Amino acid sequence: MGARVRLEDKVLELIQGDITEQDTEAIVNAANERLIPGGGVDGAIHRKGGPSIAEEARKIGRCPTGQAVVTGAGRLKARYVIHAVGPIYRDGKSGEADLLASAYRESLKRAAELKLSSVAFPSLSTGAYGYPLEEAAPIALGTILSFLRENPLPRLVRMVLWGDRAYQAYLQALRDLAAREGLQVEEF
């Protein structure tokens, strides 16, 4: 089950699944500023990818909220892990939307700098950081679509959503965005 929109030779797609199983060139990790293994997506990526990811991240040290850094992917199918730090949700009026958009944009910039054609994202900040899915999804998808329009790479951006609730929130946001921008949503 999935959905996609096409922008010329580029694709933004949504699927329900496990970020650690993606065969894209890079996967994005929902990291914390200290880049130490945590829970949720972060913990799953470190467990499956092995200790080399944490060792590389430790050498980098820190990553401010709204930014992204890159390590190798250890034992994962992907070649790289892009560690993005999304905001902790407070009240929706404390700059969270800008920081969330920045975390997606900076991750896409790292992918483009590495000349990667494919990257997979989880829903940043919507787990332990408490960002409401219905608010986060339009920010994530709008930021990704803008980046795809303005840059040659990556050509495939896949949102990998954990659970039906997250998938449905992103699907609705994609339908709304597509309707506003004259894009066709293909479901598969």
Specify whether the CB–CB gap between 30 and 42 falls below 8 A: yes
**Catalytic site includes residue 42:** yes
Residue ranges making up the domain that contains 26 = 2-180
Residue 187 belongs to some domain of the structure: no
Q: How far is CA 32 from CA 52, 88, 125, in A?
A: 17, 10, 10
In sign, the C-alpha dihedral spanning 154, 26, 165, 129 is negative
In sign, the C-alpha dihedral spanning 127, 128, 132, 138 is negative
Residue 150 belongs to some domain of the structure: yes
**pLDDT number for residue 22:** 98
Residue 69 belongs to some domain of the structure: yes
pTM of structure:
0.97
Among 157, 151, 71, smallest CA distance to 120 is for: 157
Backbone angles phi, psi at 43, to 5 degrees: -65, -40
Residue 147 belongs to some domain of the structure: yes
Whichever domain contains 156, its CATH number is 3.40.220.10
* Number of domains observed in the structure of the chain: 1
Question: What tens digit of pLDDT does each residue of 79-93 get?
Answer: 999 999 999 999 999
In the set 9, 42, 98, 164, the catalytic residue is 42
Residue 188 belongs to some domain of the structure: no
How far apart CA 126 and CA 140 sit, in angstroms, is: 11
**pLDDT number for residue 29:** 98
Question: What tens digit of pLDDT does each residue of 3-45 get?
Answer: 999 999 999 999 999 999 999 999 999 999 999 999 999 999 9
Residue 19 belongs to some domain of the structure: yes
Specify whether the CB–CB gap between 142 and 170 falls below 8 A: no
How far apart CA 92 and CA 66 sit, in angstroms, is: 15
